Amino acid sequence: MLKCLSLFILIFISGCMQTFNSNTGDEGLVGNCVDSSLINLRAAYSVLRTECMSCHTGYHNSWVNNCTDQEWIDTGQVISGDITNSNLLIRMKNFSPPGDMPLSSPQVSSNDYSTLQTWISGM
């Protein structure tokens, strides 16, 4: 009994209380922090979560905490109202090398890309 309890405590402590890991596909456990009244950001967040956050680790995992337009602007990934110079869009399309994102999957659909453009241009 003591061995089982010790093992449980060891596993619990080593888990660091993290509720998701993007490599296992269980990022869906993390709620969408974007206010439901922010329609364009909410739609863009959904695309980014599916197309970017679901594959990348490290830096992109921090994107899950960007819940406002200003937080996205502060990352340097988007420029308010500027779809031509926003790094996020530049990296998704016409970026080489290594190529359009996502690299190992079908490219972002034109509808999803348009969703991102609408969000950034409407900031």
pLDDT tens digits, 55-113:
766 666 678 888 999 999 999 999 999 999 999 998 887 665 666 777 777 788 899 99
Which residue type does 76 have? G
pTM over cut 0.95: no
pLDDT tens digits, 21-60:
444 444 444 456 888 888 999 999 999 888 887 776 666 6
**Mean pLDDT score, 3-25:** 46
22 HSE (CA, 13 A, CB side):
17
What would you report as the CA-atom Rg of the chain, rounded to the nearest whole angstrom?
A: 18
Q: What is the pLDDT of residue 112?
A: 93
21 HSE (CA, 13 A, CB side):
6
